[in-house]
Structure formats: C-alpha cells, structure tokens
C-alpha cells in the first residue's frame, strides 16, 4: 500500500494498555509511520496517553503521527483499524455494585466480568456503546477492522454480529497464549517447543492438543504429564504473578474432563456450579478460590497504572518491550499480506459444529491481506460441548435481551447461569436482577431500567 495506516484507539485513556499496543505496532516497519488517533472522554487521561504515545514515537525514532480526539466520529474517520478498550461504569461504581449487591443474597463471585449476574450486567452496560462505535464505523470507515478488547467478550462479539453483521470484527483475549506459558512453566519445557490447538468460547476454550516437539520432529502428548504432576502434588506451581490465585480448579477439571481450559481458575470457578457454594468453606480452601478477587485486582491495578503513567510522563524515553497481544500481528498481516495465526472470537458460522452457528466462538484464525479468517475445528468432545453450552445459554439470552429490548430475558439469563442457579431460588434471582437494574440505572439502556415500586405493582 502506498499510504500509511490509521489506527484509532477508543478508550485511549487506558494509558498502560494503549502503550503496550502502540509499542508493538510501532516496532513493525510496515506500521511505523501510522497515524495514531487517540479518543477518550476523559481529557486528563487522554492528555497522559498523548504524552506517552509521543514519547514512544521519539524513543523508537519512527515517523508515526499522534492525534487526539474527544469526538468519536471524528477519531474514526478514515480508520483502517479500531482498537477498543474501555470499562463502562468503571471499577466504581459499577464493578463494586456487581459484587456487593449479590453478596446480600449470599452469592459470592471471583471476577464477575464475563458470566453470572456480574457478566450479564456488564454486557448490558457495554454493548450499547460498542454498537454506537459500529454505527459510526459504518458511516466513516466501513472497511476498518474492529479489534475489541472488552469484557464480556463473548456477549459483546455475539451482539455486534447480530446487529452489525457487516462490521469486520474480532474479540481478542490473551488467555490462550497466557495459559500456554503457565503450563510450559509448570512442565519446565520451553514454550517454543510446545504445539497446541484450542477451541471453544472465550474464557471456556480448551486445548484439544497440547504437545511437546521431540528431537526427531515428532510430537508427544503432554496431558499425561500434567495429570500426573497434579496428582503427585507437583502442579500447579505457585503463581508467578498473583499468590492469591493458585491454578487448582483447572487442574481438577483436567482430571474430570480430559482437557485443560484456557482461562484462569479464578474465572472458571464461577462459570460452573462445582466450586463456590454457600456453607462450603472447605471447597474454597481446598481449591484456593479467591473470592472478591477482581475488586482487589482493580484497586492494585489502578494504583500500579497511576504509578506507571506518572513514570512514563516524567521519562525522556520509554522502554519498549514486545507484549503478547495479537493486535499488531493482525494489523501487520492485513496491511502487508504476511500471514499469521491468532486466536480470535468471531461468529461461529460452523467452525465448531457442535456449538450454535450464531454464538461467538474462539478458534485459531489465519490473518492475511484478506482479513481474519477463522479455521474449521469440527465437533468438540461431547463433555466440553455440554459444559460450554451452559455458558452459551447465558450469553444468548443476554444478547436477546439487548437485541429485542426485552427485559424478561435478563431474568432468564440469570436463571440459566450455572453458579447463580446453584445458589439461589427463582424469587431470589428475580429480586437480585431487579436490585442490580436499580443500582445500575444510570449506566444501562432505558428499556432495562426498573424500580422496585413499579416491579412490585
């Protein structure tokens, strides 16, 4: 291509995340002269991001241009790639609400950003804003690729495909490559010697193959080693990043299902009915389940990000290390035609034949000048399909609520959630959803708003 790409960041006030993605992008020769358009509604955070992005450009000695916008439509004009990273309602008040209100019913959570009542409410807050981005993209950059880094990933991706099917989108997570690193660390095998193939839905994909390349070029199945190490008490090794979060839930499920799930144990514990139960502190102790983990993590991250952002502002130059995010790889492949493989979340469209056509599937994707092309997986093992469907039920009903503006489906979604249904009766579920809709009134669409007085009448 003769012109340089334009890359727009919506939610650019996420300074540290933005810095990682831009650092990756600017180290790619074909992208190093890109126009970087930063958009955020918070002027202070936007200004911080502009300073950091400018220092990245100077540190790397590239010709990229940095522009800032408070107007989303203008930021999107002529964009080739759109990176989205925001949290509607923030840690306070919305994340706090998603944890504290369910506690009144004895419903405890660990992360609450993907499934469960927390994930449902987060989807309700988030999807309308993603839809507005899609609407603006159709107006000013209809061929751009939307790289979406927002939870609840599966609900978001599904909802975009339902309402804006022509938008070229992919939901991006780092759980597949991140967990591969963790398992390689447990096994003490270099990651580059491991071959894997994973598929499922976001946060509930499984490694269908996890193998070690041998000196003769053949591959050896590593699952027997992982199961043996767990049963002998050698795995999981202590976490390299968060001592509150041991990996026991996933190893236990490996012994029951025969496959290892790609998202963390603290996430997986609340996607199933087996691990968090009122009156069962023995389970919490046995599997090291970190209740209320996400609020603790948010507080720590906010403080860490403040410190990092301040350090970036003061520094003359900024160290640029390659991250493990897929964004720059996708952009480079689309822009140059040089192929790459990523794990992405897109409309299933028959890639996983045992899951619904319209669900959001996470599968290996080929990326080249034609865009992001998901690969065919076929049917998953029946036990994995069955477990994944329990999560898809919640996602589908949440998306139906959003698309049809039918509030009843929010209650139905909560009814179908494995963890919620295992803990609460129907009256409690209805009442809890009402309480959350009242608490989130300022952050959700008008059709979803409810008051206790109206509901009781």
Q: List the binding residues for substrate.
A: 151
d(CA 406, CA 345): 26
CA atoms of 78 and 136, how far apart (whole Å): 11
Angle at 304 between CA 35 and CA 316, to 5 degrees: 50
Q: Which residues are annotated as a binding site?
A: 151, 173, 203
Contact 174, 241 (CB under 8 A): no
Max Cα distance, the chain (Å): 73
With tokens 């449902």, the residue in question is 120
How is residue 236 written in tokens? 């999981």
H-run or E-run covering 78: none
Helix or strand holding residue 88 (H, E): none
**SS3 label, residue 87:** coil
Paired residues of 435 in beta bridges: none
* DSSP structure string for 119-158: HHHHHHHHHHHHHHHHHHHHHH-TTPEEEE--SSHHHHHH
Distance CA 52, CA 46 (A): 10
Helix then strand then coil, % of the chain, to nearest 5:
50, 15, 35
Q: How far apart are the first and last CA of the chain?
A: 63
Cα gap 260→236, rounded to integer Å: 12
Residue of 174, 212, 409, 412 marked catalytic: 174
The CA–CA distances, whole Å, from 119 to 42, 127, 398, 420 equal 25, 12, 9, 12
Number of H helices, E strands in the chain: 18, 12
Secondary structure letter of residue 202 according to DSSP:
T
CB 355 within 8 A of CB 389: yes
Instruction: Determine whether 174 is an active site residue.
Output: yes
Return all residues near 452 (Cβ < 8 A) that are at least 6 apart.
434, 435, 438
Instruction: List alpha helices for 206-269, DSSP H.
Output: 223-231, 248-257, 265-268
Binding-site residue set for Mn(2+): 173, 203
Which own/partner pairs from 300-303 qualify as long-range (CB within 8 Å, at least 24 positions apart)?
A: 302/91
Sign of CA dihedral 379, 382, 384, 389: positive
Which residues are tagged catalytic?
Answer: 174
């Amino acid at each position: 291509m003769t012109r340089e790409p334009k890359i727009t960041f919506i939610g650019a006030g996420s300074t540290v995340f933005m810095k990682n993605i831009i650092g990756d992008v600017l180290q790619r020769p074909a992208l190093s002269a890109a126009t970087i358009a930063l958009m955020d509604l918070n002027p202070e955070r936007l200004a911080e991001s502009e300073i950091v992005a400018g220092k990245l450009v100077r540190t790397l000695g590239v010709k990229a241009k940095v522009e800032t916008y408070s107007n989303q439509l203008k930021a999107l004009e002529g964009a080739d790639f759109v990176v989205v990273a925001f949290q509607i309602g923030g840690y306070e008040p919305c994340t706090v609400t998603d944890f504290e209100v369910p506690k009144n019913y004895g419903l405890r959570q660990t992360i609450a950003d993907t499934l469960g009542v927390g994930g449902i409410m987060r989807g309700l807050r988030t999807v309308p804003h993603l839809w507005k981005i899609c609407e603006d993209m159709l107006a000013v950059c209809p061929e751009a690729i939307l790289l979406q880094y927002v939870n609840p990933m599966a609900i978001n991706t599904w909802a975009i495909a339902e309402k804006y099917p022509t938008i070229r989108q992919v939901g991006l997570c780092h759980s597949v490559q991140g967990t591969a690193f963790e398992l390689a660390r447990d096994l003490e095998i270099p990651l580059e010697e491991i071959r894997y193939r994973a598929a499922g839905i976001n946060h509930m994909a499984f490694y269908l193959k996890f193998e070690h390349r041998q000196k003769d070029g053949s591959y050896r199945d590593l699952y027997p080693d992982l199961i043996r190490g767990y049963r002998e008490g050698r795995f999981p090794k202590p976490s390299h990043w968060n001592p509150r979060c041991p990996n026991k839930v996933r190893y236990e499920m490996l012994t029951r299902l025969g496959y290892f799930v790609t998202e963390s144990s603290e996430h997986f514990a609340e996607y199933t009915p087996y691990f968090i139960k009122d009156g069962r502190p023995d389970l919490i102790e046995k599997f090291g389940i970190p209740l209320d983990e996400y609020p603790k993590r948010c507080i720590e991250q906010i403080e860490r990000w403040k410190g990092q952002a301040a350090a970036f502002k003061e520094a003359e130059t900024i160290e640029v290390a390659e991250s493990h995010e897929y964004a720059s790889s996708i952009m480079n492949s689309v822009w140059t035609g040089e192929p790459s493989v990523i794990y992405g979340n897109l409309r299933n469209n028959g890639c996983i034949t045992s899951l619904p056509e319209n669900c959001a599937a996470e599968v290996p994707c080929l990326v080249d000048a034609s865009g992001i092309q998901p690969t065919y997986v076929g049917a998953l093992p029946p036990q994995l399909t069955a477990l994944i469907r329990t999560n898809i039920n919640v996602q589908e009903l949440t998306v139906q609520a959003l698309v049809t503006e039918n509030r009843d489906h929010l209650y139905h979604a909560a009814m179908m959630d494995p963890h919620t249904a295992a803990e609460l009766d129907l009256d409690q579920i209805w009442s809890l959803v009402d309480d959350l809709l009242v608490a989130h009134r300022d952050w959700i669409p008008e059709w979803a708003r409810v008051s206790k007085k109206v509901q009781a009448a």
